[in-house]
Amino acid sequence: MFFPRPDYTAMSDEKLMSLIAKKDTKAFSSLYDRYSVKMLFFFTRMYNGNNEKAQDAVQDLFMKLVDFPERFDVSRKFSSWFYSVAANMCKNEYRRYDNKKADQIDEEFLSVDSLGTEELFDLSNFRDDLYQALASLSYEHRESFILRYANDFSVKEIAAIVNCPEGTAKSRIFYTLKFLSRKLAIYNPKQEKDHET
């Protein structure tokens, strides 16, 4: 009797995890293909643009899946659980090295569409000021900001990832945006004028 080959690309993350727990290497490869680039992006931002360190972290993260698949909380959405594992790895790294530097976040995290044509030439200064502003934020505020604007997680998902109430996650994002808006007001002439009046 002929049995069709399973289509791993059509399976949910949660189904793939159940197969990984049974040592299915194709399920692991499929999940790796789905998340490796996303996780590299996340770790690179959280580790101040250190790509080599981020690549090591991605490998460590996926090794945790292979070595301890039973740790997956089946009551949670896989992506939220996976990012929470990654976030905890970052927290441990920050504690270990007491790294207080700003995350080197690309300008895509903040829309520059609001900048007029004549202001775009000053984008380099904008980036420098953005990085400096982020450097003065707490790890928790930067983390929430990255998860929201780099990874497009909802407030509810961020709360699950960082293990805090939704109100706290929402507050962190709001505070960060307000803080950056104030610090970078010079790049928005209308806002700067409003701020002066």
pTM: 0.69
At 120 the pLDDT is 47
Give me the phi and psi of 22, to 5 degrees please.
-100, 15
Domains of the chain: 7-100 (1.10.1740.10), 112-197 (1.10.10.10)
Which residues does 189 contact at the CB level (< 8 Å), separation at least 6? 116, 119
Span between the terminal Cα atoms of the chain, in Å:
80
Could you tell me if 123 and 173 are in contact, meaning their C-beta atoms sit under 8 angstroms apart?
no
- Assess whether pLDDT exceeds 90 at residue 130: no
pLDDT classification of 189: cutoffs 50, 70, 90: low
Cα(123)–Cα(140) distance, rounded to whole angstroms?
26
Reported confidence tier of residue 142, pLDDT bands at 50, 70, 90 = confident
User: If phi over 0 gives left and psi between -120 and 50 gives alpha, with beta otherwise, what is residue 154?
Assistant: beta
- Residue type, position 26, single letter: K
Residue 50 contacts residue 4 (beta carbons within 8 Å): no
Q: How far apart are CA 34 and CA 18, in angstroms?
A: 16
Residue 153's pLDDT is what? 92
- State how far the Cα of 156 lies from the Cα of 47, in Å rounded to an integer: 24
Q: Does the structure show a pLDDT above 70 at 1?
A: no
Q: Which residues does 120 contact at the CB level (< 8 Å), separation at least 6?
A: 112
